[in-house]
Amino acid sequence: MGIRVINVKSVYEELKKNKSVVNKITNLAKKGDIEGFTPPSTLIGEFNYPKVSVGIIFTTDQNASIYDAPKFWVKNGFDVLKIFGLRSSLVNAKNNVDVRRPGDSYMQNVALATMSETDLSIEMKISKVINRPMISKDLSPHGVTADLSMFKLNENVRINKNVEKVYYDKDLKAIEGMLYLYNNKIADDKISKILSVGAIGVKRRIVPTKWAITAVDDTVGKSMIEEIRSYPIGKEFAVKTGTVLGNHYLFLFIPDIWAFELLETWNRSGNEVFSGEGDYELYDGRKEYVKNTAGAYYAIRLAVLEKIKEMKQQFSVLVIREITPDYFAPLGVWVVREGARKVLSGEMNYFDNMEIAIKNVKDMLFYPINILGKSKVLQHRDRQTKLVGLI
C-alpha cells in the first residue's frame, strides 16, 4: 500500500556524495555540548505511541531557515538533489516524551522554538549520536539522529500575533485554531508543526508530525468543501499539467458537483512503470482515511480546493500524479502540495466536451494508463448520466 518511490540505489549514492557533510555534523554532535541553529523545525515520531520521540532539527549554518523552506525551494527552482543535500546535513536531536505532557519544561521550549517566526540560536547537550539517515515518503529527510539530554534557547522568540492568540487561548478547539491560522495566512506547514507540539486546542496533546500534516490538510480541505458545494457548476472542462520536483501532474476539471480523485503512476528506474490503486470521494465526502495514496491525497486535494475557490465554480476533479525517476528519494508530503499549487497557479486549458478533454489528458501522460478503466469518479459520472437518460 502507499507510494513506492524510493530508489534505494540512488539514495545510497547521494548519501555517499554527502558523506563529508554528514561526517562533519556527526563529529560535531559527538562533542556533546554544541551550539547552532534551528530553522525552526521539529520532528515528532509515531513509534511507541503514546511515548514518542520529539526532536529539534539542528544545523551549524546561521542561515538555518533555508533548510526547512518548502515554498521557497519550489519558488526558486531547487531540484531534488539540492534539497536532499540540504536535508542530509541536518541533525534531529530528540528526546522521548509522553504525548499527554505537552506542558513539561522541555516541551515548552520546543513549542516556543516551533512557533518562532525566524530561525533561532540554540544550545544542546547530546548524549548519544546515531549515525542513521531518516528517509520517509511522508516526512522531510535528515542526515543524523541524536539523543538529547538538554535543550536551551539562546535568544528571545518572536511569535506572530495570530499564532500567539491560538497558543494562549485554551478554550479554542484545535479545529478552530487550525482554521483561524490558515485564514490568517499562516503557512500550512507551520500550522502542522504548531499542532504537533501540542500548542493548539483545549485538551492539548503532542501529535506525531506525519499525523499533524494530514490533519491540517484534511481539516482545511473539509472547511473549503462546505463552501464550494454552494458554487454554481462550472461551464467548461479544464485541463492543467506541469512537472515540479520530478512529479508530473495532470488535472482534469469536469463541470459537475464536487468530487475528487487521485491516481498515481510511478517509474522507479526508467524501465519499470507501476500504476497503483487510487483514492476518491464523491459529493458527500469520505468516511475513512484513504488507503492507497496516503497524505498525498489530502495535500493535493487542498491545492485543488484552493484553485476552485479562486475560480468560484464547482467541479469534479481527477488528478493523475506521475512520479518520475527524477524524484529518486521522497522529500515529504509538502512536495505534492506545493507542486500542485505551482502547477495550478498558471492558466488552464479549456474544452467544450469531455471526449476532447480526456484526449488532451491522454496525450500529455508520460506513462499511459486506461483512465476510464481506473477512474472511479469518471465511472460514477458515466453511470449517473446513463440513469438520467433512462428517466
Alpha helices in 233-333 (DSSP H): 294-311
Please report which helix (H) or strand (E) contains residue 48, including its range: none
The amino acid present at 72, given as its one-letter code, is F
Q: Of 387, 293, 280, whose CA–CA distance to 336 is shortest?
A: 293
Q: pLDDT tens for residues 93-130?
A: 999 999 999 988 899 999 999 999 999 999 999 999 98
Under 8 Å CB-to-CB from 94, ≥6 apart: which residues? 43, 45, 53, 54, 55, 56, 145, 146, 147, 148
Q: Where are the beta strands (DSSP E) in the chain?
A: 33-38, 42-44, 51-58, 91-98, 120-130, 144-153, 237-244, 247-255, 259-267, 273-275, 279-281, 315-323, 349-351
Task: Name the most confidently modeled range: 57-66, 149-158, 164-173.
Answer: 164-173
Burial 167-188 (b: 16+ CB within 10 A, else e): beeeebebebbbbbbbeeebeb
Domain boundaries, the chain: 8-153, 161-228, 237-390
Judge whether residue 212 has pLDDT over 90.
yes
Q: Of 259, 43, 287, 41, whose CA–CA distance to 145 is shortest?
A: 43
Please report which helix (H) or strand (E) contains residue 217, including its range: helix 209-228
Q: Of 222, 85, 220, 56, whose CA–CA distance to 153 is shortest?
A: 56
User: Percent of the chain scored above 90 by pLDDT?
Assistant: 72
pLDDT (0 to 100) of residue 14: 65
The model carries a pTM of 0.92
Q: pLDDT tens for residues 353-387?
A: 999 999 999 999 999 899 999 999 999 987 876 54
Judge whether residue 5 has pLDDT over 50.
no
User: Percent of the chain scored above 70 by pLDDT?
Assistant: 92
Judge whether residue 3 has pLDDT over 60.
no
pLDDT (0 to 100) of residue 317: 98
pLDDT (0 to 100) of residue 267: 85
pLDDT (0 to 100) of residue 20: 73
What is the spatial distance between Cα 52 and Cα 98, in angstroms, rounded to a whole number? 6
What is the average pLDDT value for the chain, to the nearest integer?
A: 90
